[in-house]
Amino acid sequence: MTDNGQPRRHGGTPTSAEVAESLAARRRAERGERRRSPDAPPERHLDDTEAKRSERVIATWFIVAFLAGVAFLVLYWIFPAGGPINAGVSNKLLGGCLTLILMSLAIGVMLWVKRLMPNKEMVDERHEFRSSDEDRREFGEYFVDTAESTQITKRPLLRRTLLLAAAPLGLLPLWLLRDMGPLPKKDMFTQPWRKGMRMVLAGTQDSDSPRLLKLTDITDFGSAISAVPEGITDFNQIATAALLVIRLRPDEIQGTRRGALQRKASVNGICAFSKICTHAGCPISLYQQRTHELLCPCHQSTFDMSDGAKVVFGPAVRPLPQLPITVDKDGYLVANAKYFINGPVGPSFWERGPDRNTNG
């Protein structure tokens, strides 16, 4: 309803006022003029003193931007980089100047728009995108006629051999990408542990004196130590070989089938499990001695370390694989097999299939 209570008309024949307006619009368009918006705010009339004042205000912001810019150029030379302290100071100064330059410019230009530029809100006609029926028909006819003139419609042999020629070309990039890497082969199932291999405290494998783990080193029942195979520093191998070594009191290992297997693979209550989460491959790290629960910090998969690392919560499905270990004659902890129980280690993949004791 409009103000005067008459229903508004939408479809159908336009009212005389609408016709008049549309004619006027067309005349204006021919003259290159446009209608001002009816509800537009009143146009600004620039008062000379007012304009002068605005000019000075805007110019002040531009001068601030200029000074900040000069400060940036100078401070760059005065404050050197080198180390976190210097970088921090330099960052604050240069960043502060840059912020000031950009913000002052933004404010200056915005004030210019608001105070000095014409604020005439305008109206333009909008036309339907659809071309006229005639144009569409002409285009279609031209297209079809021309296509026919190339003989493509009449010569199926041409068409088919052209498509045939394109087919291998499309596959070519796939072929070319083949040498980006080797085939997986058995790589996903292999890991570097071998029977009798000693354990090195993770993080010391690169140093001049890698720290080998002895049975007597692991006295604490609450600790969880990361270990890697002796002599191996390559990340690809460490990514599958990393262990988490924990110690349980013999009576803490549960009497389940899993527990029995776990006890058999351990020595003196010391168990070595794969550190790589069977969910998404994060190295697991948060061990709670009281509950024997091991928590993956990435997605909170929780494993019961007193029951063969069975999953008790979270998105993981499979228990952490366990490496059978023993003690050699010198008292060092060593691998007692060349496979993980319930391997291969790490997250699932298509070729994995059921659990198996993988060797490598």
192-211 residues in contact with other proteins (CB under 8 A) are 202-203, 206
Residue 229 · residue 241 · CB < 8 Å: yes
Long-range contact list for 17-21, CB < 8 A, 24+ apart?
none
Nearer to other proteins by Cβ, of 108 and 324: the residue is 108
Q: List the alpha helices (DSSP H) in 242-337.
A: 257-265
Q: Which of 4, 5, 8, 145 binds other proteins (CB under 8 A)?
A: 8
Q: Which of the ranges 150-158, 266-274, 322-330, 345-353 carries the binding residues for other proteins, by CB under 8 A?
A: 345-353
Beta bridge partners of 200: 212, 228
From the list 246, 353, 343, the residue with the least C-alpha distance to 304 is: 246
Would you count residue 57 as binding other proteins (CB under 8 A)?
no
User: Which residues, other chains included, contact 215 with Cβ-Cβ below 8 Å and sequence gap of 6+?
Assistant: 267, 268, 270, 327, 331, 332, 333
Q: Residue count at the site for other proteins (CB under 8 A)?
A: 105
Which phi and psi angles does 323 have, rounded to 5°? -95, 120
Stretch that binds other proteins, among 109-117, 146-154, 265-273, 335-343 (CB under 8 A): 109-117
| Site residues (CB under 8 A) for other proteins, limited to 273-292 | 275-276, 279-286
**Residue 247, Cβ neighbours under 10 Å: how many?**
21
Told to check if 180 binds other proteins by CB under 8 A, we report yes
Asked if 2 is part of the footprint of other proteins (rule: CB under 8 A), the reply reads yes
Residue 95 binds other proteins, judged by CB under 8 A: yes
Candidates 89-97, 138-146, 257-265, 325-333; binding stretch for other proteins (CB under 8 A): 89-97
User: With CB under 8 A as the contact rule, which of the stretches 45-53, 75-83, 132-140, 258-266 interacts with other proteins?
Assistant: 75-83
Query: Least distance in Å: CB of 144 to other proteins?
Result: 24
Question: What is d(CA 145, CA 121) in angstroms, rounded to the nearest whole number?
Answer: 48
